[in-house]
Every structure is written in structure tokens, then in C-alpha cells.
Amino acid sequence: MNNEIKENAVYTTAETQEILKISGSTMKRLLKKGLIRANKIGRQYRILGKEILRSISPEVEREAIRSYQQLKKSTKEKVRTW
């Protein structure tokens, strides 16, 4: 398998397990707890590459949360002035 995780590619749970080097039970646990977001198609899950990248890059996730909080704060301030 190619070592590069493509942000917009769609991966199966088996491919994701191989990339993250985790067991099937760990994969199920991550999906159930919502730590990896996935779309269920029929009886199978599909995972976007950006979700895999997010799960292995906490710095990126923290930055996304920080940006969201700043946007939320600025929106609240604008709404208050209406």
C-alpha cells in the first residue's frame, strides 16, 4: 500500500487499520466512540483520508478547535450588536 494518506481519498476499515497499524477491535472501538468519523454505507464503513490524518495529528485538531472557537466568539459579538 502507498504510504501517503490522501486527504480526499476514501478508505475501508481494513485499509485504515493497516495505515494506523491497529487491530479490528481497536478500529471498532474508535468508530463507536466517534474518535474516527466514518460514513456507513450498507453494512460497511468508509473513512475519508482527512479523518485518518486528523486522528494521527492532534496538533492539527487543536488548531482546528482554536479556529472554530475564534470564529464562534466573533460571530457571537456580531450577533450581539444586531
Mean pLDDT (whole number) for 11-26: 94
Going by C-alpha positions, the residue among 33, 44, 43, 62 that lies closest to residue 16 is 44
Strand, coil or helix: 74: helix
Alpha helices in the chain (DSSP H): 13-20, 24-32, 49-56, 58-80
Higher-confidence residue of 80 and 42: namely 42
Tens of pLDDT along 50-80? 999 888 877 756 776 787 888 889 898 889 8
Q: What is the CA radius of gyration of the chain?
A: 16
**pLDDT at position 1:** 52
- pTM, two decimals, is 0.64
Residue with cell 459579538: 77
Does residue 39 carry a pLDDT above 90? yes
**pLDDT at position 42:** 95
Domains of the chain by residue range: 10-80
